[in-house]
Amino acid sequence: MRYRSTRGTGATLDFEQVTLTGLAPDGGLYVPEAWPQLSRAEIAALAGLSYVETAVRVMRPFVGGALSDDELRTLCTQAYGRFAHKAVTPLVQLDERHWLLELFHGPTLAFKDVALQLLGLLFERFLSDRDTHLTVIGATSGDTGSAAIDALAGRAKVDIFMLHPLGRVSDVQRRQMTTVKAPNVHNIAIEGTFDDAQALVKAMFADQGFAGRFTLSAVNSINWARLMAQIVYYFYAAVRLGAPERPVAFSVPTGNFGDVFAGYAAAKMGLPIAKLIVATNVNDIVARALSAGDYSAGEVTATAAPSMDIQVSSNFERLLFDLDAEAVPAQMAAFARDRAMQLTDVQRGGAGALFAGVRVDADEMALAMRWACEGSGQVIDPHTAIGLAAARATELPAEIPVVTLATAHPGKFRDAVERATGVRPALPSRVGSLFEREERYDVLPAELGAVTTYISERATPGA
């Protein structure tokens, strides 16, 4: 398997290269040259397999010759051995149609652990026989940062610089990042939004002088390996609900469009998915783009689901490329200039067949939290509630089960959950004594020069 850039230029990469590289030199995101296919028989054979075994079969074609089956299995066993639930990503039934897929049983209580626990091990494996020091740069609206830091803290040959928007993540999310003492972890609070932080990360990859001095890599969904690992749980859940015989719908709380793009990839690989519901909060650029073809960024509004407070949705480019590749370079240039661009008819038609965009406001989110709590005793976090509200608002044939991705543990957002339901969720003991530990982070303006100077003074030049 080789990977090419969504901007259409430059060399193709193999799996090891694409995992270590991050953004393509032309500013694009790497995607597989072709979608591997799983036949109906191969999908049916996943029924009853463990999460690790499912992961090996689903990811195998993307990994190619970079790892043997046994090596991949060993890494998955190690990564998912840290999860607090034997099923890794268990399904929980809410009523006769609605299910939650709990993705928050990893060490930092959000779905990001599913991919980042594996990515940390892939970095270690691929760096073990190279004389290279990686400088990982990332942007987070709260969850990627804590999961990436947990996965990389203390690892040899890697420094991680994580940018979060000052005052726009929950206390638990911030402390999960800033109380980690490992010397290779550097936290920067940016005076701006997540979009500003993500734009800075992409600008650093594009800055030839800076990128030339350091071997830059990514832990955001810029990195293909992140999305690859997220494809697995769509297969794992769907076969438990009757796939391939019975199609399944998924509702995905969406910000950067990575998680739902992993669902799209599963569909392209042959998993019968009836609908991918793209659930957004009031920062609804993707819902608008899918319903009206208008991809135009407004101001970011702070909400009770801060990890989805995103207006520039990085992975949407991967979808546009898959649907109408030739249009993408001009569309991205228009978006960089005007913060707005239009989808082509081909892109709108292609997306409309599988996706439904649904915007959920604060009242609808709180209502979904109460519905889950009062109806089935499930305390859910604000992001999951947005997914569930969108799932319940979407009309689908009665025989199709609808799975809402439960992307974070409610304990990460205790104040918002308590406001909506009256229940204050406890923080699982695996996160430790977060509120007793000292925090360490620096505040910087949202300016490229300030951030590159900061990193240059602390990072190790690559080999």
Ligand X SMILES: Cc1ncc(COP(=O)(O)O)c(C=O)c1O
Q: What is the DSSP letter of 162?
A: E
CB 305 within 8 A of CB 364: no
Sign of the torsion formed by the C-alpha atoms of 104, 107, 112 and 116: negative
Q: Has 112 been annotated as catalytic?
A: yes
Q: Which is nearer to ligand X, 66 or 278 (CB)?
A: 278
CB 399, min distance to ligand LJ64HWYM, A: 32
Q: Provide the β-strand partners of residue 402.
A: 98, 249
Q: Which stretch binds ligand LJ64HWYM (CB under 6 A): 29-37, 98-106, 140-148, 154-162?
A: 140-148
| Element containing residue 249 per DSSP (H, E) | strand 248-253
Return the closest-CA partner of residue 389 out of 376, 402, 408: 402
Three-state DSSP class for residue 444:
strand
Q: What is the largest CA-CA distance in the chain?
A: 59
Binding residues for ligand LJ64HWYM restricted to 203-222, rule: CB under 6 A: 220-221
Phi, psi of 91 (to 5 degrees): -95, 140
Write down how long the chain is.
Answer: 463
| CA gap 128, 120 in Å, rounded | 12
- Binding ligand LJ64HWYM by CB under 6 A: which of 90, 192, 253, 258? 258
Task: Give the footprint of ligand X on this chain (CB under 6 A).
Answer: 110, 143, 221, 253-260, 307-308, 383, 407-408
Q: Which is nearer to ligand LJ64HWYM, 315 or 347 (CB)?
A: 315
| Element containing residue 454 per DSSP (H, E) | helix 448-458
Q: Which is nearer to ligand LJ64HWYM, 247 or 255 (CB)?
A: 255
DSSP of 398-438: TTS-EEEEE-B-GGGGHHHHHHHHS--PPPPGGG-SGGGSP
CB 132, min distance to ligand X, A: 28
- The 96-135 contact track toward ligand LJ64HWYM, x by CB under 6 A, reads ----------------------------------------
Distance of CA 112 to the CA centre of its chain: 6
Q: Which stretch binds ligand LJ64HWYM (CB under 6 A): 91-99, 125-133, 139-147, 395-403?
A: 139-147
- Binding ligand LJ64HWYM by CB under 6 A: which of 144, 170, 179, 303? 144
Which of 86, 112, 181, 412 is the catalytic position? 112
Q: Which partner from the list ligand X, ligand LJ64HWYM, none does 220 bind, CB cut-off 5 to 8 Å by kind?
A: ligand LJ64HWYM
Q: Which is nearer to ligand X, 19 or 256 (CB)?
A: 256
Active site residues: 112
Binding site for ligand LJ64HWYM (CB under 6 A): 140-145, 220-221, 255-256, 258, 307, 314
